[in-house]
Amino acid sequence: MGFADQRFNVNLSILFTELPLLERPAAAAAAGFTAVELWWPWIDSPTPERSALDALRRAIEDAGVRLTGLNFYAGRLPGPDRGALSLPGEESDRFRANIDVAADFAHSLGCTALNALYGNRVEGVDPAEQDALALENLVLAARAADRIGAVLLIEALNAPESPRYPLVSAPAAVDVVDQVNEATGLGNAKFLMDLYHLSMNGEDLPEVIERYAAKTGHVQIADNPGRGAPGTGSLPLEELLGLLAKAGYDGWVGLEYKPGDRPSAESFDWLPREARAAR
């Protein structure tokens, strides 16, 4: 098993960012890809104007690509924020206001995976209080995802880059997945396995794959060090994706890497063009 056997999509919130948002789907299509994913594009607005939603929907449809993954509102990404759902007060309220907006937008494009970033620890707030709020909001998100036939993704980040984010290991994220599924009875909460973040945490990636492939709803990749394209660092990404396939994972693999100092379209030379279109 190799790269040619995977189903790749392109994250348009980290790749093609040299272009305006509405031009990125067509750029991904021109590079040979048939599927894309996005962080929540409106960092200051969990409930953007209908015209903004419609414009992005048309751009995706006109490009002929499929939206396969979408983040719920998560604050400033890229930037200091790492989600909103565990933050007491206004940010949690903004997350809740976004739940149905994001789910409906995803549904309108046939997207079946919604990612909910947990959020940073807040100084002076009991972590147990944040965790209780997070579970409450994740239950709401899981129910909204279930309404549109989607999975709810819960992601581990890495401690060096996100020191205040509490889910910085695969076991920590999977524990939250299990709590959400137990609370809802829906079984649609899944682990988002980002191999870059897990490698930054020093985790044994083959062991993580063996233990958690069955609970994984989406995979994202970037090389390490540097968070660049495969081949720019030392992670054996082709081998790791092969292990995932052997463990039964046949879902999407999101390209969530930085293109470096070149245009995004030139950062895919590691992947033959014929392997970019999902089969």
Residues belonging to the active site: 155, 256
Report phi then psi at 125, rounded to 5. -110, 135
Look-up of token digits 């995803």: 106
| CA atoms of 10 and 232, how far apart (whole Å) | 17
